[in-house]
A and B are shown apart, each in its own frame.
Chain A
């Protein structure tokens, strides 16, 4: 009964979001206070209805109601409570519900914190958010309804995919989706500004905090997914250029470009059209991400839904959103004039390069991700594009981007010139060069040029990002939150670059078959396999191995990799044994019993791999700090000249 009420509540939410769209857009256009109040009321009602719908579904999961088909497919009475709740987004239908729920949260946050904005802009933005919400609710209720009953009820559920029974993976989808969906607020504001036909660039100021927050969530979500893949998939990698990963990475790259171009539009009134296009692109790529992941059209190790009908719906939806936004843009862009110019060595010019290079990088990922789909559709054969394409191609735009970043962050607006003396920057570059090459060739004995280049760039960015704040502190000037956020984010990028550089060049990995007592050499470390013992879990059984790692005769770590077999789905899972350290990870994953009492084991030494996730988190954290800047929070409504 509760589930039917929840279902009905979701249908109400669909109707209410249509009301929200109509009264928001029309009320904004007519500047009709009563209609705009109606739109706000519709938002409140829509959010409450969506919340009730989600709550009903969660209740079914917690109460093990296996008369609900979706619950029966994705949960089990032996599943711990935390994962029973997380099972809500364990498959396609629930993920869509999660999308809608998060959109409701973003809509609420926007409605509550936008009092300072012109009321027609707010109404129109709420209208656009209503349209998006309407599309997703329709999609969910028509093609992927999680409220359907299963009669007669199942005795027990088919369990949550064991891969997802993990803390990081349970939290990964909500955080990632918070990023995806967050771009819809930026998108709604951009559409509202275009509908208003505003000639100023205040909308850029309004968009900045929302874009920063969405971008931070997205980065955090991607980092979490990467960390999960590292310890849960048993391969020990942190990034596979899998279509699903690329689907989340493209909006992040475009979102990064958008953050920087928004800064130019806000501060100088330039790049207006470009910023609007990037906003549309970031949101479209978020939708495309949903489409790529959820329609299963691409060969991907992550896709667990394979239903082309849903894909067609999302494609049509995507076409409407992109087409509509671009039509709006074509109508309004000619009115967006910007006459101001800038010098070649100015902040604007460097940010222009930043944008071009990031967009090229996103295009490289886009091409590689969609090539298999396009080739197949055109009947050119089934092909696959992997790391051998992505790694070198991605570096082509990214290396110049990193090189320019270290200098560009010191460039002045408008007239140009650098805030730091060229001598100080050269000195820093010299130090980075010596330290970087020393680290690559001396400490890690890597003689490839690329390793040294990566190390030098990482160190240069890390050092360079602290120059301006330190100078301000020395001169006893105040530090605005935006500058602190920028410093933290760029320092995070520096650490990230160092991490990737050394993981990619100095990792040692071996697959071996060992009998208890035998050992294998992984670089300077000796991994000794001491045998395995049986293991019993709440909903699985398995084997836990014991591997002692020594270095130069001294014990470094004892690793306990596990091989689990989950009862309900009968699937086999690897829990890697990892000794994490700030400067290296030691990794062992159990393969299988290969006979003659030997086990196959995958052993790895990965230097600085923690820098990758720590750096990514710092970038996201920097974005959050920047939101606190007073200039962004007290958004004036009066047009600046």
Chain B
């Protein structure tokens, strides 16, 4: 091979390699990306059956129930329009509190309970997951309209 051909082969090899890496990354991305839904969207049936997603909202005050002596907990997450029951059986994060913001990862089961495999609570007093803030704002905006209709 002449030096020129060799250089072209090198460039072609690099392009093919980078292309393969890109395609693999894109596939991993498509398969593993998780969408966020708030309780109203969940209740409204916007989530495909069996899809793993992020659920966000506020933990309903007084909704936390424990099976004494075990890790199983149940609580409800609300955006003040709709409420979704959640079941979880691992250690809850430090900042998990009733009446505070929360994001949970998991799936809905047949009886309409969100089975969480990961729960994230807001990180400190000031911080709130932006998407939760947004759905709460939407709920606020919707509330007067709903009251007027009634």
- Given A341-B3, A381-B36 in contact, is the A512-B24 Cβ separation under 8 Å? no
Least CB distance from A361 to B in Å reads 9
Least CB distance from B112 to A in Å reads 22
Contact A301 B70 (CB under 8 A): no
Bound-complex Cα distance A112 to B110 (A): 70
Question: What A residues does B70 contact at CB under 8 A?
Answer: 513, 594, 598
Contact B28 A163 (CB under 8 A): no
Contact B21 A396 (CB under 8 A): yes
Contact A368 B29 (CB under 8 A): yes
**Choice from A296, A385, A573, A595 contacting B29 with Cβ under 8 Å:** A385
- Given A299-B130, A572-B95 in contact, is the A594-B34 Cβ separation under 8 Å? no
**Choice from A360, A381, A511 contacting B71 with Cβ under 8 Å:** A511
Indicate if B123 sits at the interface (CB-CB under 8 A): yes
Nearest CB in chain A to that of B127: its residue: A304
**Choice from B14, B34, B69, B124 contacting A571 with Cβ under 8 Å:** B124
- Given A303-B127, A384-B36 in contact, is the A356-B68 Cβ separation under 8 Å? no
* A94-102, A212-220, A386-394 - interface stretch: A386-394
SS class, residues of chain A in contact with chain B: mixed
Contact A302 B36 (CB under 8 A): no
Contact B14 A356 (CB under 8 A): yes
Contact A389 B28 (CB under 8 A): yes
Least CB distance from B65 to A in Å reads 11
Contact B71 A600 (CB under 8 A): yes
Indicate if A323 sits at the interface (CB-CB under 8 A): no
Contact with B along A493-524 (1 / 0, CB 8 A): 00000000000000000011101000000000
Bound-complex Cα distance A337 to B10 (A): 20
Indicate if A592 sits at the interface (CB-CB under 8 A): yes
Bound-complex Cα distance A365 to B125 (A): 29
Least CB distance from B41 to A in Å reads 10
- Given A371-B29, A600-B91 in contact, is the A356-B130 Cβ separation under 8 Å? no
SS class, residues of chain B in contact with chain A: mixed
Nearest CB in chain B to that of A397: its residue: B21
Indicate if B8 sits at the interface (CB-CB under 8 A): no
Question: What A residues does B125 contact at CB under 8 A?
Answer: 569-571
Least CB distance from A515 to B in Å reads 7
Bound-complex Cα distance A202 to B123 (A): 48
Contact A306 B71 (CB under 8 A): no
CB-CB contacts below 8 Å: A585-641 with B: 589, 591-592, 594-598, 600-602
Indicate if B137 sits at the interface (CB-CB under 8 A): no
Indicate if B85 sits at the interface (CB-CB under 8 A): no
Bound-complex Cα distance A551 to B22 (A): 46
Bound-complex Cα distance A574 to B95 (A): 10
15 contacts between A and B (CB under 8 A): A296-B130, A298-B130, A299-B103, A302-B123, A304-B123, A304-B127, A360-B21, A385-B32, A389-B25, A389-B29, A393-B24, A396-B20, A573-B94, A589-B91, A602-B90
